[in-house]
Chains A and B, each alone.
Chain A
Amino acid sequence: QTVVTQEPSLTVSPGGTVTLTCASSTGAVTSGYYPNWFQQKPGQAPRALIYSTSNKHSWTPARFSGSLLGGKAALTLSGVQPEDEAEYYCLLYYGGAQPQWVFGGGTKLTVL
């Protein structure tokens, strides 16, 4: 059973910078895992932020960026705003004969 691991919680001050990571139990995350990142606020559906490691959607604020960092997928928020307080999920693609997509457990980001 493949497990994708994220930090359960992080706290950042307004205007600060924070990096969330996404690790795979199978080893280093590469671009071939097509990391996607989503933001979810209470009572709302997830909203896509980043696809294929570092690509932004048209609606993604410029302060969000995606990358690979030390064998993990990473989401960096620079100049954090109060409205960025939310749960963040990563999603990894495991290709092969029977492709699978696996979500991480989510990171609760608190802006304090």
Chain B
Amino acid sequence: QVTLRESGPALVKPTQTLTLTCTFSGFSLSTSGMCVSWIRQPPGKALEWLALIDWDDDKYYSTSLKTRLTISKDTSKNQVVLTMTNMDPVDTATYYCARIYGDYDLFDYWGQGTLVTVSS
């Protein structure tokens, strides 16, 4: 059974760095074709793709947020970590992690999401 769970602070202050962890089970990120991605959704707005890391440790970032994002994985812990620097109130959103499998074409399982509010 594949599950993913996001964790991290519910509240961060402007200019701070956000660190989110995606803990997953039911698959290994060392398996060829496996990837984990981060997606966010501001309240009442659309989904936005942020970053992806694959089994080979290749990392891809949204061009609009690339300078602020870092994605990494700890295969032994079944975790993927996303950091986002210089947080701003517009970054207030629910952050999701999701599994991608295959040739980057198959998004299947999602976590339940974690709401991060940016406020002083």
Q: How far is the CA of A46 from the CA of B49 in the complex (A)?
A: 13
Question: B49 to A103, Cβ gap below 8 A?
Answer: yes
Write out, one digit per residue, whether chain B residues 37-70 have a CB within 8 A of any chain A CB (1) or not (0). Answer: 1010000001111001000000011111000000
Residues of B within 8 A of A (CB): 37, 39, 46-49, 52, 60-64, 96, 102-113
Report if A93-B104 is in contact (Cβ < 8 Å); known contacts: A45-B111, A47-B110. Answer: yes
Residues of A within 8 A of B (CB): 1, 34, 36, 38, 40, 45-48, 51-52, 55, 57, 89, 91, 93, 95, 98-106
Q: How far is the CA of A101 from the CA of B62 in the complex (A)?
A: 8
Question: B108 to A51, Cβ gap below 8 A?
Answer: yes
Report if A99-B46 is in contact (Cβ < 8 Å); known contacts: A48-B108, A51-B107. Answer: no
Q: Tell me how far the C-beta of B61 lies from the nearest C-beta in chain A, rounded to whole angstroms.
A: 8
Question: A98 to B60, Cβ gap below 8 A?
Answer: yes
Residue B64 contacts which of A1, A45, A104 (CB distance < 8 angstroms)? A1
Question: A103 to B48, Cβ gap below 8 A?
Answer: yes
Q: How far is the CA of A38 from the CA of B104 in the complex (A)?
A: 16
CB contacts (< 8 Å) of A34 on chain B: these are 103-105
Question: B113 to A98, Cβ gap below 8 A?
Answer: no
Residue A105 contacts which of B46, B49, B103, B110 (CB distance < 8 angstroms)? B46
Q: Tell me how far the C-beta of B1 lies from the nearest C-beta in chain A, rounded to whole angstroms.
A: 13
Task: Across the interface, name the chain B residue whose C-beta is closest to A87.
Answer: B46
CB contacts (< 8 Å) of B102 on chain A: these are 52
CB contacts (< 8 Å) of A40 on chain B: these are 47
Residue B110 contacts which of A48, A100, A101 (CB distance < 8 angstroms)? A48
CB contacts (< 8 Å) of A46 on chain B: these are 47, 96, 110
CB contacts (< 8 Å) of A102 on chain B: these are 49
Most chain B CB inside 10 Å of its own CB: which residue of A36, A45, A51: A45
Question: B106 to A52, Cβ gap below 8 A?
Answer: yes
